[in-house]
Amino acid sequence: MGSTASGNSGTWRNWGGNVTARPAREVTPASVEELAAAVRRAAEDGLRVKAVGTGHSFTSIAATDGVLIRPHLLTGIRGIDRANMTVTAQAGTPLKRLNMALAREGLSLTNMGDIMEQTVSGAISTGTHGTGRDSASIAAQIKGLELVTADGSVLTCSEKENPDVFAAARIGLGALGVVTAVTFAVEPVFLLTAREEPMPLEKVLAEFDELWAENEHFEFYWFPHTGSTNTKRNNRSAGPENPVGRWAGWFEDEFLSNGVFQVANWVGRAVPATVPAIARISSRALSARTYTDIPYKVFTSPRRVRFVEMEYAVPRAALPETLRELKAMVDRSGVRVSFPVEVRTAPADDITLSTASGRDSAYVAVHMFRGTPYQRYFTAAERIFTAHEGRPHWGKIHTRDAAYFSGVYPRFGEFTALRDRLDPERRFQNDYLRRVLGS
């Protein structure tokens, strides 16, 4: 067998550095059969099982004291079906590799999030999304799924096959089984023109409905302690390609967004009183620019400055009010926030526990530099989000539990009933799932 299982695997840490776990053993299966065997063996030993991707979640959704499955040998594209315009990728494939492989084949996903370090299965299982008027999260582009369930059997699902599992498992939180392969809808590669420009916050909020309606992909970043935002509109383009120049790209994306930003955050963490001044400079540092490129080069950007994050989906109509309340809270509370607040949208989808399930949504994400006390800010922000029946991102910090979710997700009971059927012994349980789904 090609898989390695280290008896004592030491400590696992997530990307944000705020979650650690000590699994009893780690397994790196090289095939679906090996993964299924590892799940069966865990059951014999009375151990729980969790698969982990790149650890980009800020919650303990992947933490376990049982068997930790690392999927990095289960990578690559299994097949491309040009007749049906689908691509099947193995679960451990990083989104970056998927995007590059698709581009080489002249194909692309319709929409994606803003980072691509995560594995395919990690990204879909937590509901990773970008921004879109008509196109939704990565999970909403799934046409088929393969997963290993608690008894070690391999289950496939789609709209036609096991449709009840398909409805839930596209964003399954790791609670229904270990995803081993994902089939995505793809389309011929296309060009996007991105237009980034500063805009006063009040103007963005007053015109939010128009900005949303007029653009295929609209998002903005508001810099706390200022009345400034940086807006980004991505729309399909006939070309020609006009990528960000090498120097401009390095300066804006690496130097300003990662290098200088890192130093500014170190200063802000050491001397919080400097944060508002730094925020004013940061909000002015990014100038307007327009560029045209293939989708993944426009949608995604590197994120090297480590942070912790909370993000909630609120009904899209509630966005301007939510942001005004957030700004009033920051101004009033005296918290010092050196990271911009990111705002995106998604259309309603039909996935049981998708943050956009059954409602047009706007996402508001608050961040804090890693190592900075974030509790006060996040607690105050969460109070605002929950007053608007907000739904937290499954992979980002929040304090909600099953009682809350049963109120904001009309189909919550549908998910827990399916879990009872697929994992009656709670092989895939951990503390996080016990809190958010109930035991």
In order, the DSSP letters of 214-280 are: H-SEEEEEE-TTSSEEEEEEEEEE----BPPPHHHHIIIIIIIIIIIHHHHHHHHHH-GGGHHHHHH
Handedness of CA 164, 348, 379, 174 (dihedral sign): positive
pTM here is: 0.92
pLDDT of residue 338: 85
Mean pLDDT of the chain: 91
Distances (CA, A) of 47 to 31, 141, 178, 238: 21, 33, 15, 54
Band (pLDDT 50/70/90 cuts) for residue 283 is: low
pLDDT at residue 223 above 70? yes
pLDDT of residue 5: 39
**Proportion of the chain above pLDDT 90, given as a percent:** 78
* Contact of 339 with 368, CB cutoff 8 Å: yes
pLDDT at residue 344 above 70? yes
Band (pLDDT 50/70/90 cuts) for residue 243 is: confident
At 22-70, the pLDDT tens digits run: 999 999 999 999 999 999 999 999 999 999 998 999 999 999 999 999 9
pLDDT at residue 322 above 80? yes
Distance CA 339, CA 308 (A): 10
Distance CA 56, CA 173 (A): 14
Residue type for 255, please? F
At 158-187, the pLDDT tens digits run: 999 999 999 999 999 999 999 999 999 999
Q: Which has the higher per-residue pLDDT, 116 or 87?
A: 87
Distances (CA, A) of 105 to 82, 101, 217, 421: 10, 7, 24, 40
- Tokens 């709209």 correspond to 159
- Tokens 């963005």 correspond to 204
pLDDT of residue 286: 67
- End-to-end CA separation in angstroms for the chain: 35
* Contact of 237 with 193, CB cutoff 8 Å: yes
Distance CA 113, CA 97 (A): 14
At 2-30, the pLDDT tens digits run: 333 334 458 999 988 889 999 999 999 99
Distance CA 155, CA 233 (A): 40
Band (pLDDT 50/70/90 cuts) for residue 253 is: low
Cis omega before residue 240 (within 30°)?
yes
Strands 86-90 and 187-188: unpaired
Bridge partner residues of 222 (DSSP): 229, 341
Strands (E), 59-177: 67-69, 77-81, 86-90, 107-108, 142-148, 154-158
